[in-house]
Amino acid sequence: MNDSPAVLTEAAIAGLLVDTEPYLSCDECFERIDQYVDRRVTDPSHADPGMDTHLAGCGACAEEARTLEDLLRQDAEVTSTADTENGRRE
Ligand SMILES: [Zn+2]
């Protein structure tokens, strides 16, 4: 009666795909992540469906994106602070 072998259900396959590469592989994600984060910092409404989907399903790349975004924002702050300090030293 129950002679069907263990077959991956569609839901199981979808779960596996969501985990790693919905659109992009991690390699492709890493190639584009600098540009993606840079755009996100200058334009918070910027959306890249492939990247958005990948970051939603991949903790490692999402973490990388967060770190990069922090660095870019700090960079912007440090630059304006440095200008002020230079002015004071004169
Ligand atoms: Zn990834």
What pLDDT does 4 receive?
A: 63
The residues placing their C-beta within 5 Å of ligand 1, an ion, are: 26, 29, 58, 61
CA 39 to ligand 1 centroid distance, Å: 19
What pLDDT does 9 receive?
A: 79
CA 80 to ligand 1 centroid distance, Å: 33
Query: Which is nearest to 68 in space by CA: 36, 37, 23?
Result: 37
What pLDDT does 80 receive?
A: 74
Task: With respect to residue 80, please indicate whether it lies within any of the assigned structural domains.
Answer: yes
Say whether pLDDT at 71 is over 50: yes
| pLDDT per position as a tens digit, 6-52 | 777 777 766 665 554 456 889 999 999 999 999 999 998 998 889 99
Task: With respect to residue 3, please indicate whether it lies within any of the assigned structural domains.
Answer: no
CA 6 to ligand 1 centroid distance, Å: 29
Task: With respect to residue 19, please indicate whether it lies within any of the assigned structural domains.
Answer: yes
Which of the two residues, 89 and 43, has the higher pLDDT score?
43
Q: How far apart are CA 19 and CA 21, in angstroms?
A: 7
Query: Which is nearest to 51 in space by CA: 67, 30, 72?
Result: 30
**Where in the sequence is the domain holding 16, given as residue range(s)?**
10-89
User: In this structure, are residues 40 and 71 in contact, taking their beta carbons and an 8 Å threshold?
Assistant: no
Task: With respect to residue 1, please indicate whether it lies within any of the assigned structural domains.
Answer: no
Q: What is the mean pLDDT of residues 69-83?
A: 81
Task: With respect to residue 4, please indicate whether it lies within any of the assigned structural domains.
Answer: no
What pLDDT does 21 receive?
A: 44
CA 29 to ligand 1 centroid distance, Å: 6
Work out how many domains the chain is built from and give that number: 1
CA 2 to ligand 1 centroid distance, Å: 39
pTM: 0.61
